[in-house]
Structure 1
Amino acid sequence: MELSEAMRSTGTCRYFSDKHVEDEVFYQAFDNARFGPQGGNRQPVRWIVVRDKDTKARLAELYLPYWEAYYAAVIEGSKAVGAVPATVESANYFAHHLAEVPALVVVCAEAEGLHPTDHELDRLSVVGGASIYPTVQNLTLALREQGVATALTTLLCAEEPAVKELLAIPAGYITAAHIAVGYPRDGFPRKLTRTQVNEIAFLDRFDAPMFS
């Protein structure tokens, strides 16, 4: 598979088949994902693959209240337009069937391996994620290459203490994301909708589009 094809078709999958994802598939994906760029080659990312039925159910139970709060806000706002977007409805299905996904990958990162340079600015600190999320994206692409779909969520990070206790994650590690992994029930998307290049790329200044 061409890299560009993988990047253009690795969308968020919310409908999974019940087909088992073999260890060999995960191994190959992790083997490729680990080459993601990170500061100082600290390699802070660790993965926990959760297949146990009861553990997945507990993670789904922790996840659902955060989704329900968001969904309720969308429903309230949708009264004006009279409909809920299909993407939100698919996400609602996903939330209520999270425990049925073949595997959930919990993304952990060693806090000492992160080097945020923006934590003193008067805004949300995000730079520490630069040593985490490129590797996470590598994983989704490496799985896509093997015909395996993913859905990345960060809602469950709000329940980090409970997740750490449930999964025996040691002190000094944080949870950075959770990835649903499995074979897609309905195949991969043929076309993803994204903002055009001429609206997101600028030259020298933010008010100077690079491409017309």
Structure 2
Amino acid sequence: MELTEAMRTTGTCRRYSTEPVPDEVFKSAFDVARFGPQGGNRQPVRWLVVRDAARKQALADLYLPMWDAYFAGITGGTVAVGALPKTVQDADYFARHLAEVPAIVVVCAAMDGLHPTDHELGRLSVVGGASIYPTVQNLCLALRDQGVATAVTTLLCHEEPAVRAMLEIPDEYITAAHITVGYPEKNFPKKLTRSPVEEIVALETFSQPMFDLSPAL
């Protein structure tokens, strides 16, 4: 698959077929994903593939109460989302069928392999993720190349102590994301909805657009 096509069609899949994903597909994808950029080549990411039905159900049982609270906020108008109504409906379906996905990949990262430079700024620290999430996206693209769909969720990270105990994750590792993996129930999207380049790219200063915002004649 051509790279830009993969990038434009690797959306969040919330409905999967029951077909299992073979080990060789996973191995090929992990082999590519590990080349994602990371600070100092410290390679902090470790992957944990969960296929066991009981473990998937246990993860789903942790996930659903948090989703229910979030979903109640959406429907009650206290949580603002930019998603379309169908997307929210699909996300609700996803939450209620999480245990049925073929596999859940738990993204773990060694804390001593991260180097956050923003933790003293008095706001949310995010820089440590720069050594994690490019590799996560590599995995999603590598699976897409093989016709396998994914969804990245971070909601379960709130339940890290319970997840760590359940999956015997060492204390020196954090959970950075969970990725559902499987063949899509329907086709991959042909076009994802994103903001136009003209609205998201600035030149020199934040308020100065780099590209012309006026419509083409």
TM-score strictly above 0.5: yes
Q: CA deviation at 1:70?
A: 0.5
Is 1:108 equivalent to 2:105 in the alignment?
Answer: no
Cα distance in 1, alignment partners of residues 112 and 64 from structure 2: 30
- Matched residue type, 1:22: P
SS at match of 2:54: helix
Gaps of 5+ in 2: 79-83, 213-217
Cα distance in 2, alignment partners of residues 137 and 204 from structure 1: 28
Residues 15-54 of structure 1 correspond to what in structure 2 (within 5 A)? 15-54=15-54
Q: Which residue of 1 aligns with 2:167?
A: 167
SS at match of 1:31: helix
Is 1:56 equivalent to 2:56 in the alignment?
Answer: yes
What CA deviation, in whole Å up to 9, does each residue of 1:149-187 have, x standing for no partner?
000000000000000000000110000000000000011
Cα distance in 1, alignment partners of residues 148 and 192 from structure 2: 17
Residues 76-115 of structure 1 correspond to what in structure 2 (within 5 A)? 76-77=76-77, 85-115=85-115
What CA deviation, in whole Å up to 9, does each residue of 1:49-82 have, x standing for no partner?
000000000000000011000001111129xxxx
Runs of 4+ that moved beyond 6 A: none
SS at match of 1:108: strand
TM-score, normalised to structure 1, is 0.96
Is 1:135 equivalent to 2:135 in the alignment?
Answer: yes
Cα distance in 1, alignment partners of residues 27 and 3 from structure 2: 19
Residues 143-158 of structure 1 correspond to what in structure 2 (within 5 A)? 143-158=143-158
Cα distance in 2, alignment partners of residues 74 and 201 from structure 1: 29
Q: Which residue of 2 aligns with 1:70?
A: 70
What CA deviation, in whole Å up to 9, does each residue of 1:77-99 have, x standing for no partner?
29xxxxx8111110000000000
Residues 192-203 of structure 1 correspond to what in structure 2 (within 5 A)? 192-203=192-203
Cα distance in 2, alignment partners of residues 157 and 122 from structure 1: 22
Gaps of 5+ in 1: 79-83
- Matched residue type, 1:21: V
SS at match of 1:106: strand
For the aligned residues, what is the CA RMSD? 0.9
Aligned length: 207
Cα distance in 2, alignment partners of residues 18 and 95 from structure 1: 16
Cα distance in 2, alignment partners of residues 117 and 76 from structure 1: 38
Q: Percent same amino acid at aligned positions?
A: 70
TM-score, normalised to structure 2, is 0.94
